[in-house]
Structure 1
C-alpha cells in the first residue's frame, strides 16, 4: 500500500483565477493575511472543480441532483463511485431524509490543500468601463477587479488503496454504497473484501489502474479558472512533486520557501526529507518541473541533487513526461502493490 503525497504549484501571471465576494462593484480575488502580508489563494474547491472539468470528454461524470428552495436547498451527485470516477476520487455526501436506500457518504480519495501564494503578493486593482451603445455625453459605467502574479502552492495526497474500494457497512454515514447500489455493483463484477475494518466492494484491478492513471494524466493538463476573458493564463501545474509513501505522511510540504520576495525551491529541504523518510518511501520521488519555471532554479536543483538522481532516488523531468510514464507503469500492472492495503 502506498499514498502519493507531495505538492502542486501553479504559476499565475497577471491572473484572477479564483474570486472572492465583490463589493462596491469591484471583483476581488481570494486572499488571506499573515501578519501584514497578503497572500492570494485558490481554494481547494476551485482547483478540484478545474480538475473534474479537465477530465477527458469521453469520461462520464456523476450527474448532480438539486432539490429544495431558499436556504433549504440541497445539491449532491448521484453518489455512485462504482459508475463514476469523480464520485470515486473526489467523494460525496448524499443525505436524503427518511430514505436509507440513498443516504451515503464517501471521504475524498484525493485530498487537496488550499493553493496559497508562496511569497506575499498584494493584488493590483484594475478598472474597466461600459459605454457601448450609450448616447453622446452619457457617463460610462465603471467597474473594477483585482488580479495578481504569484506562485501558488498546495499539498496533495492520493490514497491509492482506496481507489475503487467502497464501504458497504460502518457507523453513521460511513457507508459509501447503500444496499440497492451495492447489489448492483456486485452484480456488475465488484468483489466483496474486508477493508480497514469495514465490509467493502472492490472494482477490478484493471479499472482501478485506469482511474489512477487517468487522474495523473489529468493533473498535468488542468485547465480552468475565472476571468479568462481578461486574464487568461495557463493553469497547468508548473511543478508537481509526488512521492509514494507507505504511511500517508506528507513530508514534502516545506520544499518551497521565500528568499527576499521570490519563491525558492529548497533542494536542501528535499534532500533532508528524502533521507529522513527513506524507510517509508516506496519508490523514487517524482519531481515534475516545467522548464523555465522559477528561472534557473530547476538546473540548480538538478546539480545539487545529482547524486540522488544518479542513485534513482529522485526523478526530474517535465510533469507530462514524468507522470505520463508513471501512468503507463500503473496501467501495465507494475505498481499493483501500491493498491493493496495490508490492513484489509
Structure 2
C-alpha cells in the first residue's frame, strides 16, 4: 500500500470558519456555492490546509519562513515560503512554487503529496445574516453584518506516502515531473547529504530521498496535527472546534479513494449526513487486493448518533471480521501516527511491486 485515502467531516455549528469576498459593503459573507439552484456553504481546501499547516507549527514543527516580494503599488506581488522541502516538513508535505529572478535559478516546484478537496455541505444550507453595532465612544453608531451557518461539511483527502521526503531531480533540458528539486535554486541539498539522503529512481525519474526515519516522522506529525486541528475565521464571535467530527481512512495500493460516496449527503434534499455500510462493502469488494484492513473510522461521541447506530448495525459483519474499526478521531489518528513512527507501516513508503 502506498496511499492513505480518506474523507473528513467537519461539524460547523453557528459558525463562519471561512469568509468569502465582500462586495464593497459592510457585510462579510461566508463562502458558498449554488448547485442546481440550492445554496451550499463550503470551506476551501486552501483554508483547511492552512489550518492543518498552522496546527503543525503550533505543535512544534518548524515552519518554512515566508518571504514577500513586490511591494510597489501596481506591481505584481507574491509571497512564498522558503521553498526548502529538505529542511522544512511543511514545504515537503504541502508543496510550493517558487520562481527566482535569477534566470539560472529558474522555478522550483513541489506539488503536494497531501491532496485535499473542498469541504462542501452535505445538504443545502442558507447562511444567516447577523448584524452588530459599534456604538462605543461614537455619536453615530456604525452598523456592520456578517453571515454564519450550521452544516456538516465533507471532503476527501489523499496522502501519497512514497513521495514524502522524495524529490525528483530535473532531467536533461530541465525535463522532469512537477515535484522536482533544482539543486541550483532549492535550499538544503547539501544538508540532505548530512541527513543521510540517498539517490534513487522514483517512478521513472532520478530522485533524492531522505532517510526513512525522517519520512516516518513527517507523516506522524501530520496525523498528530489533524488530531488537534484548530483554525477558522471569526473565532471570537463563532468559536468552533475544528477537530474532525468524523474521519475515515484506509491504505490503498493506488491513488484511488473509494470513500467518496460512502460518506456524503443523502439523495433527498435536507436528508443530512449519510454513512453507507453497503456502499463501503461494495467498494471494498470492487477493490479487493488493492487495500489493507482495517478501514479506520474516527467518530466523535455524540455526533450524529442515529447515523452511527444504523452504520454499526449494517456494518456488523465488517466490524466482526476486523475490516472496519471505530474509535475516537483523536485516538485513531494518534495511534496510527505512533505505529508509523515505530516503523510498523514502512511498506507504505514504497510503491507496491506490480
Cα displacement string for residues 228-278 of structure 1 (whole angstroms, at most 9, x for unaligned residues): 111111111111111101011111111222255122222221222122212
Cα displacement string for residues 152-191 of structure 1 (whole angstroms, at most 9, x for unaligned residues): 0011000001111111224267363222543442243211
Preserved contact between residue 244 and residue 282 of structure 1 (Cα < 8 Å): yes
Q: Is 1:223 the equivalent of 2:230?
A: yes
The aligned counterpart of 1:301 is: 311
Is the deviation greater in 89-98 or in 154-163?
A: 89-98
Partner of residue 295 from structure 2, selected from 268, 280, 285: 285
- Please give the TM-score of this superposition, normalised by the length of structure 2: 0.92
Q: How does 1:144-293 map to 2 (within 5 A)?
A: 144-170=145-171, 171=175, 174=178, 176-180=180-184, 181=187, 182-255=189-262, 256-258=264-266, 259-261=268-270, 262-293=272-303
Deviation at 1:62, TM superposition (A): 0.4
In 1: Cα distance, 2:279 partner to 2:130 partner: 38
The aligned counterpart of 2:14 is: 14
Go from structure 1 to structure 2 and tell me whether the alpha carbon gap of 1:278 and 1:311 turns closer, same or farther (over 3 Å shift): same
**Unpaired segments of 5 or more residues in structure 2?**
none
| DSSP 3-state at the match of 2:236 | helix
| DSSP 3-state at the match of 2:68 | strand
The aligned counterpart of 1:67 is: 69
Cα displacement string for residues 294-330 of structure 1 (whole angstroms, at most 9, x for unaligned residues): 1321122122111111111111111111121111111
Cα displacement string for residues 201-231 of structure 1 (whole angstroms, at most 9, x for unaligned residues): 1111111111111111111211010011111
**Unpaired segments of 5 or more residues in structure 1?**
none
- Please give the TM-score of this superposition, normalised by the length of structure 1: 0.94
Q: How does 1:46-57 map to 2 (within 5 A)?
A: 46-55=47-56, 56-57=58-59
Preserved contact between residue 127 and residue 144 of structure 1 (Cα < 8 Å): yes
Go from structure 1 to structure 2 and tell me whether the alpha carbon gap of 1:162 and 1:175 turns closer, same or farther (over 3 Å shift): closer
In 1: Cα distance, 2:231 partner to 2:179 partner: 32
Question: How many aligned positions are there?
Answer: 341
In 1: Cα distance, 2:60 partner to 2:102 partner: 35
State the superposition RMSD in angstroms.
Answer: 1.8
The aligned counterpart of 2:333 is: 323
Preserved contact between residue 105 and residue 173 of structure 1 (Cα < 8 Å): no
Q: Is 1:41 the equivalent of 2:42?
A: yes
Is the deviation greater in 70-79 or in 153-162?
A: 70-79
